[in-house]
A = this chain, B = another copy of it.
Amino acid sequence: MTDTTRLTVPADSLFGLHNLPYGVYSAGGREPRVATRYGDFVVDLARLLGDEVFARPSLNPFMAQGHDRWVAVRAEIAERLRGEVPADAVHELDTVRLHLPVEVADYVDFYASEHHASNLGRIFRPQNPEPLMPNWKHLPVAYHGRAASIVVSGTDIVRPSGQRKGPEDPAPVFGPSTRLDIEAELGFVLGTGSAMGDTVPADEADRHIFGVVLFNDWSARDIQAWEYVPLGPNLGKSFASTISPWVVPLLALESARVPTPPQEPAVLPYLRMTRPWGLDVDVAVEWNGQIVSRPPYSAMYWSPAQMLAHQTVNGAPSRTGDIFASGTISGPEREQRGAFIELTWGGKDPVTVNGLPRTFLEDGDEVALTATAPGPGGTRIGFGEARARILPAKRQQNPAPASATCP
Contact = CB atoms under 8 A, between A and B. Distances in A.
Interface in A292-336: 310-311, 313-319, 322
Given A199-B396, A397-B201, A407-B262, A268 B174 contact: yes
B400 A202 contact: yes
Given A135-B227, A151-B196, A229-B133, A314 B406 contact: no
Given A319-B148, A394-B315, A139 B163 contact: yes
B231 A407 contact: no
Interface string A159-187: 01111010000011010000000000000
A223 interface: yes
Contacts of A148: 105-106, 193, 196, 316-319, 322
Interface string A363-407: 000000000000000000000000000000010110111101111
B144 A146 contact: yes
Contacts of A161: 313-315
Interface in A2-60: none
A267 B399 CA distance: 12
User: Which size bracket describes the interface of A in this complex?
Assistant: 35 or more
Contacts of A276: 406-407
Contacts of A266: 402, 405
A269 B399 contact: yes
B275 A406 contact: yes
Interface string A126-163: 00000001110011011111111101000000101111
Given A106-B148, A174-B268, A406-B276, A230 B227 contact: no
Contacts of A314: 160-162, 220, 223, 235, 238-239
Contact of A171 (B138, B260, B404): B138
Contacts of A260: 406-407
A258 to B, nearest CB: 9
A229 B135 contact: yes
A316 B146 contact: yes
Nearest to A162: B314
A197 interface: yes
Contacts of A354: none
A161 B199 CA distance: 10
A360 interface: no
Contacts of A272: 399-402, 404-406
Contacts of A234: 108, 141-144, 311
A259 interface: yes
A210 interface: no
Contacts of A144: 143-146, 234, 238
A259 B405 CA distance: 11
A315 B239 contact: yes
| Residue picked from A262, A267, A272, A315, most chain B C-beta under 10 Å | A315
B407 A227 contact: no
A273 B405 contact: yes
A272 B220 CA distance: 23
The 6 closest A-B pairs by CB, nearest first: A232-B232, A259-B407, A269-B399, A160-B314, A144-B144, A143-B231
Given A161-B314, A235-B313, 14 more contacts: A106-B146, A106-B148, A139-B172, A143-B234, A144-B145, A148-B317, A151-B196, A163-B268, A199-B396, A220-B314, A223-B314, A232-B233, A259-B407, A272-B399
